[in-house]
Amino acid sequence: MTHDLVIANARIVTCAGPAVRRGAAMRDLGIIAQGHVAIDAGRIAAVGSGPAPIGVTTIDAGGRVVMPGLIDCHTHACWAGNRFDEWEQRLSGVPYLDILAKGGGIMSTVRSVRTASRDTLVGGILDRVRQASARGTTTLEIKSGYGLTLDAERAMLAAIRDAAAIAADRVRIVPTALLGHAIDPDRADFVDEVIDLTLPAISKAFPGTAIDAFCERNAWSLDAVRRLFEAAARLGHPLRLHADQFNDLGVLPLAGALRLRSVDHLEASTDAGLAALAATWDAGAGCVGVGLPLCGTHMADGRFARLRRLIDLGGACAVGTNCNPGSAPCISMPLALGMAVRHCGLTAQEAIIAGTVNAAHVLGDSDVGRLMPGLKADLILLHHRDERALLHDLDADHVAQVMFSGRLVPTV
C-alpha cells in the first residue's frame, strides 16, 4: 500500500494511550526509538518500527524527533492596545490587584477592545497565531473576556471565529466565552446582567462554547461564579475556571460538584485544595489543573502552580501560555513547558503530556495530542534527536516542520 506521506527514520514520541493522563501515567511518552509515521487523507494511518512503508512523499527525519503538535489550552490572544505602563508600575512594586482596583489591568484592555474594529481584533489574532504555529502549536484556545458588554463579547467571539476560518490551513482555534472576567465598576447590576442577558445571547449565537470565569478578589466572587456556571450548565456549556491566582477563595473543593473541565492558575492553591482537585478523578468528575508558568515568569513574583504536588496526589495537569497583554505576553508553548519544568516541578516527560494529551482533553478533543492510527495528523518534526531539548534549550529554533491535518505548513 502506498500512503500519501511517510515520515521515516524518526524518533517518535507517540504519547499513545488514554486520552487523559494523571499521576505516574503522565511520564509515559510511548517512545519508538526508530520508526515511521504514515499519513492518509489527513489522518495517521500507521505508526511503528521496522521498514517504512511507501509514500507518495517521504520525509527522512534523520533520527530527529517526531511528536504530536503542541496544544495551547489557555490563551487570551484576542486583544487590542498594550499595557506597557502597567508593566512599569509592577516593576516598581505596585501589586497587580491594586492596579486592577484602580481601573487598570484587565479594565485597561477592556477599554481598548471596545473601541477596536473587528479587523483590528482579527489581525492581532492572526499575528499571534502565526507566531504560535511557527513554535509548534497546532491547536490553541482563545478566550473572549475583554468586552464585558454583550455587544463587545459577541464581537470578540466573532473575531475569533473569523480568525479561525482564515487560519484553518495551519492551526485549529477553539473559542471560549470568558463571560466572568472582570467586574465592570460602572454597572451596579453587572453580574445579574451577565447571567440573565449576556449568557443566553452568547449561548444562542455560539452554542456549546465553553464558559469561563475569573474567581478572585476584585473580580467574580465564588457565589457569582456558582450562579453563572449553574445557568451555563443548564444551557449545555462546558465549564472552565480561573482560580487561586492570588488568593484561595475555596473553589477547588467544588470543582467536582460544578463539573468543571479545568481549573487554571492555581498559584495560591493549598495542599487541601490540590488534594480536592486530584480527588475529582476518583469521584468520576475529573478536573484538570492547568498551570500557566509564563505568568509568574513575566510578573517576576515567584508564584507558580505546584503541579508536582498535584501529580503526586494522583491528579492531572496541563500547561498553557496564558498569552495576554498584561501578565503573559508570550505565545510560545516550548517556553511555557520549559518554565513548567523549572518552576512547577514537572519532569520533561510530564511537561510534554501536559502540552499535548492533557491539553487536548481540556479542550474536549480526543482526536489530537497523540500519534495513533485514526487520529488527526497534527505533528511536528523537531531539529533535535532528543525530545528533552524542547524543554531544555530556551529561545531556540526547535521546530523544523509543522504538519497540520496531514499538510505541511510554513514555519514562518
Provide the 8-state DSSP code for 182: -
* String of DSSP letters for 374-397: TSB--EEEES-SSTTHHHHSTT--
DSSP reduced 3-state for 219: coil
Superfamily of domain 70-362, CATH level 4: Metal-dependent hydrolases (3.20.20.140)
* String of DSSP letters for 124-159: HHHHHHHHHHHTTEEEEEEE--S--SHHHHHHHHHH
| CATH class of the domain comprising 2-68+369-409 | mainly beta
Q: Is residue 104 predicted with pLDDT exceeding 80?
A: no
* Cell matching residue 157: 467571539
Q: What is the pLDDT of residue 92?
A: 86
C-alpha–C-alpha distance, residues 117 and 97, integer Å: 29
Domains 2-68+369-409 and 70-362 share a fold: no
The mean predicted confidence, pLDDT, of the chain is 96
Which residues fall within 8 angstroms of residue 72, CB to CB, at 6 or more apart? 132, 137, 139, 140, 141, 320, 321, 323, 331, 333, 336, 355, 359
* Torsion angle in degrees (nearest 10) through CA of 285, 288, 289, 294: -160
At 218, is the pLDDT very low, low, confident or very high (cuts 50, 70, 90)?
confident
C-alpha–C-alpha distance, residues 160 and 138, integer Å: 16
Over residues 232-287, the pLDDT tens digits come to 999 999 999 999 999 999 999 999 999 999 999 999 999 999 999 999 999 999 99
Q: What is the pLDDT of residue 81?
A: 92
* Cell matching residue 111: 477599554
Question: Residue 68 in contact with residue 15, Cβ under 8 Å?
Answer: yes
DSSP reduced 3-state for 173: strand
Residue with cell 492553591: 269
Which residues fall within 8 angstroms of residue 37, CB to CB, at 6 or more apart? 6, 7, 10, 12, 44, 46, 47, 66, 371, 377, 379
C-alpha–C-alpha distance, residues 183 and 241, integer Å: 15
Cite the DSSP H helix spans in 206-343.
222-234, 271-282, 293-299, 307-312, 333-343
* Residue 33 CB coordination number (10 Å): 9
* Cell matching residue 408: 505541511
Which residues fall within 8 angstroms of residue 109, CB to CB, at 6 or more apart? 79, 80, 81, 83, 146, 324, 325, 326
Over residues 155-193, the pLDDT tens digits come to 999 999 999 999 999 999 999 999 999 998 889 899 999
95-104, 262-271, 302-311, 362-371: least confident range: 95-104
pLDDT, mean of residues 85-110: 82
Query: Helix axis angle, 118-134 relative to 150-166, nearest 10°?
Result: 50
Question: Residue 32 in contact with residue 86, Cβ under 8 Å?
Answer: no
Question: Residue 315 in contact with residue 281, Cβ under 8 Å?
Answer: yes
Could you tell me which residue, 55 or 93, shows the higher pLDDT? 55
Select from 260, 278, 241, 393 the least CA-distant residue to 332.
393
DSSP collapsed to 3 states, 52-66? CCEEEEEEECCCCEE
* Torsion angle in degrees (nearest 10) through CA of 181, 182, 186, 189: 60
The vertex-16 CA angle with 12 and 22, nearest 5°, equals 125
Over residues 46-73, the pLDDT tens digits come to 999 989 999 999 999 999 999 999 999 9
Q: Is residue 134 predicted with pLDDT exceeding 80?
A: yes
CA distances from 379 to 53, 80, 116, 326, 375 (A): 18, 31, 35, 30, 11
The vertex-146 CA angle with 144 and 148, nearest 5°, equals 100
Domain boundaries, the chain: 2-68+369-409, 70-362
User: 40 has which bridge partners?
Assistant: 43
At 326, is the pLDDT very low, low, confident or very high (cuts 50, 70, 90)?
very high
